[in-house]
């Protein structure tokens, strides 16, 4: 957990989460715009995405190993969100992703003299495929990085800013043209965007939530990539080891707890808003959302069309 997030959490606890959110959406947003004029303009441009898929359904794909058991090519004509390094998966080009997310700040601190970092940079350029160019969303922390590495000239880049507390019984609208809550996994931000876009049915795939296994195995020098839906290179193993060396296990476990808490809050939020949020992951640790087999979702759609 970064020092900045810890500071925000301390202030939040002192003021109260709901009151702090109101402050951030008022004077906090005005201060952000003043200090980050270009970036805030990009964030405000996200208003074009509001309700553009009202009443439709979408699939959000994590990178858990359960994806190996599912035929992702069936999603070619669906609205699809992908994230992080799914480009390592050979089936990625056939998915025809519509929206792709990077949120972890470690992805925005790549060094040109590090082979593992440069491998990730090359992967980012492969978000575009021969016949598909998804809209890509970087957390605001990635703005300077994208300019330095000229990714803005390659990708259809958008930026989102996150400052709010994701409170119990959270009931604010998710507004990608202002501040979002601080969330703990990239899939959470994809869910927030899907809600902002007006999707009434959101299905999760590959959300095994096995990051805790990865963190433990890497620290035990036993990380072989089994926790992902794709093979990882030696460079990526080394990059993960360096990343984990900079984060205490206590902070990792706190973060994992927040991941599951956020999924629960999203589920409760979706119920109040009459949004169908369903976990179609095969197995995995995520147990707070209703489950439905991926194949059944697709079969029901085919039967309806007939």
Is the pLDDT at 162 greater than 60, yes or no? yes
Is the pLDDT at 89 greater than 70, yes or no? yes
pLDDT given for residue 233 in this prediction: 79
In the chain, what are the domains? 3-305 (3.90.1480)
pLDDT given for residue 7 in this prediction: 57
Q: What is the pTM of this model?
A: 0.88
Q: For the chain, what percent of residues have pLDDT higher than 70? A: 87
Is the pLDDT at 251 greater than 70, yes or no? yes
Long-range Cβ contact pairs of 274-280 (< 8 A, separation 24 or more): 274/200, 275/195, 275/199, 275/200, 275/201, 275/202, 276/57, 276/200, 276/201, 276/202, 277/191, 277/202, 277/204, 278/201, 278/202, 278/203, 278/204, 279/204, 279/207, 280/59, 280/203, 280/204, 280/205
| pLDDT tens per residue across span 101-111 | 999 999 999 99
∠ CA 209-215-216, nearest 5°, is 110
């Amino acid at each position: 957990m970064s020092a900045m997030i810890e500071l925000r959490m301390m202030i939040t606890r002192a003021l109260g989460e709901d009151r702090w959110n109101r402050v951030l959406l008022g004077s906090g947003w005005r201060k952000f715009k003043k200090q980050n004029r270009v970036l805030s303009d990009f964030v405000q441009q996200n208003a074009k995405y509001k309700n553009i898929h009202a009443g439709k359904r979408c699939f959000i794909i994590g990178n858990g190993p359960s994806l190996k058991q599912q035929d992702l090519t069936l999603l070619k004509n669906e609205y699809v969100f992908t994230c992080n390094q799914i480009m390592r998966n050979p089936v990625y080009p056939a998915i025809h992703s519509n929206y792709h997310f990077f949120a972890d700040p470690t992805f925005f601190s790549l060094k040109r003299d590090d082979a593992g970092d440069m491998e990730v940079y090359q992967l980012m350029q492969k978000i575009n495929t021969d016949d598909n160019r998804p809209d890509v969303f970087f957390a605001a922390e990635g703005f300077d990085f994208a300019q330095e590495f000229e990714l803005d000239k390659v990708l259809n880049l958008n930026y989102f800013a996150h400052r709010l507390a994701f409170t119990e019984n959270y009931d604010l609208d998710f507004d990608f043209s202002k501040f979002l809550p601080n969330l703990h996994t990239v899939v959470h931000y994809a869910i927030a965007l899907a809600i902002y876009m007006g999707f009434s049915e959101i299905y999760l795939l590959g959300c095994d939530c096995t990051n805790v296994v990865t963190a433990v195995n890497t620290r035990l020098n036993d990380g072989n990539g089994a926790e992902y839906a794709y093979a990882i290179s030696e460079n990526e193993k080394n990059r993960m080891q360096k990343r984990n060396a900079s984060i205490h296990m206590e902070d990792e476990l706190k973060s994992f707890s927040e991941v599951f808490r956020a999924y629960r809050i999203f589920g409760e939020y979706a119920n109040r808003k009459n949004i169908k949020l369903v976990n179609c992951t095969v197995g995995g640790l995520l147990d707070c959302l209703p489950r439905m087999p991926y194949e059944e979702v697709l079969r029901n759609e085919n039967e309806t069309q007939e």
